[in-house]
Structure 1
Amino acid sequence: MTTQNIYLDGVGLIGPGLTGWAQACEVLAGRQTYVAAHTAPPAVEKLPPAERRRVGAPVKLSMAIGLEAARHAGADLASLATVFSSTEADCDNCHAILEALASSDRALSPTRFHNSVHNAPSGYWGIATGSMAPSTSLSAYDATFAAGLLEATTQARSNGKPCMLLAYDTTYPEPLQHLRSIPDAMGVALVLNPHQTSAARALLKLTLRDTPATRMPQDDLEHLRQSIPVARSLPLLALLAQGRSGSVVVEYLDSLQLDIEVCSVT
Structure 2
Amino acid sequence: MSLPSLFVEGIALWAPTLPGWDTAAPALRGEGRAVDPPAARPSPELLPAAERRRAPDSVALSLEVAARAVAQSGRAPSDLLSVFTSAHGDLAITDYVCSTLARAPWSMSPTRFHNSVHNAASGYWGIATGCMQASTAVSAFECSFAAGLLEAWTQAAADAGPVLLVGCDVTATGALASTNDSRGLLAVALVLAPQRGPHALARLDAMLVPGATERIPLRSEAALPLAGNAMADALPLFETLAGGAPEVLTLPLSAMLGLRVQVCACRDRG
Alpha-carbon separation, structure 2, partners of 1:223 and 1:23: 15
Report the count of equivalent residues: 265
Alignment check: 8 A CA contact 2:6 2:153 kept: yes
Q: Could you say which residue in structure 1 is the equivalent of 2:144?
A: 144
In the alignment, what sits opposite 1:253?
Answer: 254
Please provide the CA RMSD for this pair: 1.9
For residue 43 of structure 2, what is the aligned residue in structure 1?
43
**What TM-score, normalized to structure 2?**
0.91
Q: What residue in structure 2 maps to residue 241 of structure 1?
A: 242
Contact 1:164 1:190 in 2 (8 A): yes
What's the CA shift string for 1:158-217, capped at 9, x where partnerless?
111100100000112122112101110100000000110000001001222245333223
Secondary structure of 1:203's match?
strand
How far off its partner does 1:5 sit? 1.4
* Counterpart mapping for 1:157-196 below 5 A: 157-196=157-196
Q: Is the 8 A contact 2:244 2:264 kept in 1?
A: no
CA distance in 1, matches of 2:23, 2:136: 29
Point out the more displaced range, 113-122 or 154-163.
113-122
Q: Distance in 1 between matches of 2:232 and 2:16?
A: 10
User: Alignment identity in percent?
Assistant: 37
Conserved 8 A contact 1:39-1:186: no
Matched letter for residue 243 of structure 1? G
Out of 209, 214, 217, the residue aligned to residue 215 of structure 1 is 217
The DSSP-based 3-state class of the residue aligned with 1:263 is strand
Report whether the alignment pairs 1:11 with 2:14: no
1:27 deviation in Å? 0.6
Deviation of 1:49 after TM superposition, in Å, equals: 3.2
3-state SS, counterpart of residue 207 of structure 2: strand
Q: Distance in 2 between the 1:92 and 1:239 partners?
A: 31
Label 1:255 to 1:240 Cα distance change in 2 as closer, same or farther (>3 A).
same
What secondary structure is seen at the aligned counterpart in 2 of 1:168? strand
| Unaligned ranges ≥5, structure 2 | none
Alpha-carbon distance in structure 1 between the residues aligned to 2:66 and 2:197: 19
Distance 1:224 1:113, change over 3 A: closer
TM-score, normalization by structure 1 = 0.93
Name the aligned partner's letter for residue 215 of structure 1.
Answer: P
User: Which residue in 1 is equivalent to 2:131?
Assistant: 131
Give 1:231 shift.
Answer: 1.4
State the SS of the aligned residue for 2:231: helix
- Distance change (3 Å), C-alpha of 1:38 and 1:88: farther
3 and 46 in structure 1: CA distance in 2 versus 1, 3 angstrom threshold: closer
* Alpha carbons 1:81, 1:162 under 8 Å: kept: yes
* Further displaced range: 140-149 or 85-94: 85-94
Does 1:263 find its partner at 2:264?
A: yes
Deviations 1:31-85 (A, max 9, x none): 1144676563111212123433331111100000001101111110111111010
